[in-house]
Chains A and B, each alone.
Chain A
Amino acid sequence: DIVLTQSPTTLSVTPGETVSLSCRASHSIGTNLHWYQQKTNESPRLLIKYASQSISGIPSRFSASGSGTDFTLNINNVEFDDVSSYFCQQTQSWPTFGAGTKLELK
């Protein structure tokens, strides 16, 4: 299985800050990497597909980049509504997910 390692585990930020979340794959996965947002007691929502492609209806403050083994999700001007866990997922082989980064507000 391809293992995805996300860092940091928890991120505490001030509204208005810009943050970067990391996802590292144990093997090269090209751009078959997707990002999801999951709020407490809700199901995951697709944020970004294929490493950097935007999703209709997702605010433009969410962007992402990367290929191969290193990927980054950026959130510009963090808002209260962004308090969530963020998961990366690879679909290069059988789907696996990272353990997630929990975004908290200071």
Chain B
Amino acid sequence: EVQLVESGGGLVKPGSSLKLSCVASGFTFSSYGMHWIRQAPKKGLEWIALIYYDSSNKYYADSVKGRFTISRDNSKNTLYLEMNSLRSEDTAMYYCAKSRGMRAPFDYWGQGVMVTVSS
């Protein structure tokens, strides 16, 4: 059974940093691209980052470019999102998800982790 389990969220002040993790199981993690997607309270879904299966390419939404860094450790089946210079508008539920490629759907999602940025 495919499982994606996020952790690392919490309440932080504007300007702070936070690092999210997503531990994968039930599939060959090193063969799949991985994404981070967020959803602000009562809002829609926003894709924010993609990392290729071998970390050779990383892509970001403009809203987080230069502040967030996606990475992965295939030996630990773990995906990361390092978030710096956090703003109130970064407050959201953050999900990790897997896909087979750039144009593939996100076939499994984690349960999400909440990040709240507030003074």
Which residues of A line the B interface, CB within 8 A?
Answer: 32, 34, 36, 42-46, 49-50, 55, 87, 89, 91-92, 94-100
Contacts and interface: CB of A to CB of B under 8 A. Distances in A.
Contacts of B107: 46, 49, 55
Nearest to A89: B105
Interface of B: 35, 44-47, 59, 61, 95, 102-112
Overall SS of chain A's interface: loop
A91 B44 contact: no
18 contacts: A32-B103, A42-B111, A43-B109, A44-B45, A44-B109, A46-B105, A46-B108, A55-B107, A87-B44, A89-B45, A91-B102, A91-B103, A91-B104, A91-B105, A94-B59, A95-B47, A96-B47, A97-B47
Q: Is the interface of B mostly helix, strand, loop or mixed?
A: loop
Contacts of A99: 44
